[in-house]
Chain A
Amino acid sequence: MGNISSKVNNMEIVSLIKAIPAVYKIDNKLNVTKWKLNDIDRNVLEAALLLKKTFDGNITVISVGPEDITDVIREALAYGGDMAYHIVTNEYIFSGTVISAAIESILREIEYNIILSGEASSDLYDSRIGALVASRLGLPFIPRCKVLEENNGNIICTLDLDKEYKVSVEYPFVLEITREFGKPKIVTILQLLRASKKIIHQVHIEKLIGKKSYAAPLEVIGLDRFEVKRERRISTGSIEDSVNFILDIFREERIL
């Protein structure tokens, strides 16, 4: 439930973060053996920290994925998250409809002023969750924010669209953060240790949206490696040799 206002003193911040496959195999379906935090979501957590420092408040992390993404959620908490909701799935989910429906059902039960999401995840790269969640909750969606500033209690966002805009928005809203939003800090071991004591609420996705909805409207009917065989001819000789190597390639490829 979002609080409608132009200013807040104690901000409830929600960070939507994604665990993406780091190590996986495919045999008809995707089997993930190791997960990592989606790169751009580090910027989401940086933005959340900046808001927390500016306005005071709490950061709630929400993530969707199988049981074994807990380490990724702990890493997000180490960045400065106060508590987390882990929406547990039986497998990797391809459907944005399913993921956003599950996140919506958590957000309908908690307080928030601002919901942050990353511009995209490098696994599926649909660039969608922030907008999908905003529309399900009937909230304004503010795309592609690269700078956040405070002005007299209000947030001013710089948006990187076809033009560069500085905009103001009334709470609550969903804000999409781009890769250009500062350089994320490195999490220390001490922060990771502290994060191990923070609360992660786990709830199975079927409890939130039902078993039928969990059966995605999107069916994966093929999953294959995209392989391009590259020659990997290497030149490590003198500068002269390397330049001649390139000239030969230009001739071979009929560039000259």
Chain B
Amino acid sequence: MRGALFIGDPNSIDYLTSLLDRLGINNNVLFSNIEMKTYPQTIDKVYIIPEVMGTATLTSMIDILRIHDVSIIVGDTSSWVTSYIPYLAGLLSGEYIGFIDDIYRDEQGFVIKKTIFTGELIVKYRVRETPIFLTINPSKVEGNLNKEAKEAIYLSESSPFYKILTEKEKEKDKIDIQYADVIVSVGRGFKNIKDLELAEELSNIVGGVVGCSRPIATDLKWLPEERWIGLSGKKVEPRLYIAIGISGQPQHLAGIRRAKKILAINIDPEAPIFQHSDYCVVADLYDILPLLIRKLKEQGVTRS
């Protein structure tokens, strides 16, 4: 059985390779829009595809999947991959399941686990027919994979789906919130961007990183999108998640369900976040944070 990887974020290649390896699938095909210097040894063919695709590229990809008799196509959750992978599935009439939690094999085939209903339910699917198309949020990989240089084949597009008129780079963030041990997360309870300094200061003291709910990253753009935690942002599993001024919309809760402990600080006693927290502080963050930071400093706790 052969597999294919669909990579928009080069950092996901080790995790997706290890995932296919765990399923006993190798001699894999890789599709990416970025050429890398080396690739895991289990990758047999490397195809570089254009950022804006159209029917020509997608049809070539389908031909490649057919020629190599690929049964499972697994992609990362970058917006580029999640935009195109269902399209490929539709062309091959294959089933697509996005943002899965895990996949394993039993005697009857593949079983896929996925959290659904904004984290309230876990569903287990058996896929009766292949090929199947999946996306999964990468996790850390233990150890290093053996890698080697490989020749990449470039696919071109004569008729892209759209014509780019202008493009604007987004602010990129080097902090990887996904593996943080402590997260200090901010929501709409913060009135100004400058006030996020309070969260940054607390985060520095407790050795954490600052995350946020969707509006802070997407509407207000106070923090980069890499810090956004939730259903369509990052899903995190810290030892302690400190939610400050976050009401607790289902989409946000879906990103923090696997946190070991949750501490919520919110002025609204009815805020839904309190129903899902271990420690609940009903108070104004503007009263709590300055005093908390001062007391931590007085106790000599500082890491910054």
Q: Taking beta carbons and an 8 Å cutoff, which residues of A are in contact with B?
A: 21, 26, 94-97, 100, 119-120, 122-128, 131-136, 138, 140-144, 156-157, 159-169, 173, 176, 179-180, 217-226, 228, 230-236, 239-240, 242-243, 245-247, 249-250, 253, 255-256
Contact = CB atoms under 8 A, between A and B. Distances in A.
A165 B251 CA distance: 26
A125 B165 contact: no
Interface stretch (B22-30, B42-50, B63-71, B281-289): B281-289
B164 A165 contact: yes
A126 B97 contact: yes
Nearest to A101: B93
Contact of A126 (B96, B162, B258): B96
B128 interface: yes
A131 B279 contact: no
Given A246-B288, A255-B240, 19 more contacts: A97-B93, A125-B231, A125-B232, A131-B83, A131-B84, A131-B87, A132-B87, A161-B83, A167-B163, A180-B219, A218-B95, A221-B111, A223-B124, A226-B115, A226-B122, A228-B276, A246-B281, A249-B240, A249-B279
A163 B170 contact: yes
A165 B160 CA distance: 14
A21 B123 CA distance: 15
B269 to A, nearest CB: 7
Nearest to B62: A135
B281 A242 contact: yes
B127 A217 contact: yes
11 contacts: A97-B93, A122-B118, A125-B116, A128-B89, A138-B55, A163-B167, A167-B163, A167-B165, A217-B128, A226-B122, A231-B278
Interface string B97-113: 11100000000000100
A120 B232 contact: yes
Contacts of B231: 120, 122, 125
Contact of B121 (A120, A225, A245): A225
A159 B83 CA distance: 11
B120 A225 contact: yes
Chain B facing A: main interface SS: mixed
Interface in B220-253: 231-232, 239-240, 250-251
A140 B8 contact: no
Looking at chain A's contact residues, the main secondary structure is mixed
Nearest to B166: A166
A251 B124 CA distance: 39
Contact of A243 (B58, B88, B295): B295
Given A126-B97, A162-B80, A231-B278, A219 B125 contact: yes
A26 B121 contact: yes
B219 A217 contact: no
Interface in B117-148: 117-129
A48 B214 CA distance: 24
Nearest to A26: B121
Given A132-B86, A138-B55, A221-B111, A164 B167 contact: yes
Contacts of A222: 122-124
A100 B87 CA distance: 11
Contacts of B296: 247, 256
B279 A169 contact: no
Contact of B277 (A180, A219, A230): A230
Contacts of A142: 161-162
Max chain B CB contacts within 10 Å: which of A142, A157, A161, A173? A161
B280 A232 contact: yes
Contacts of B128: 217-219
B193 interface: no
A13 B281 CA distance: 48
Contacts of B168: 163-165
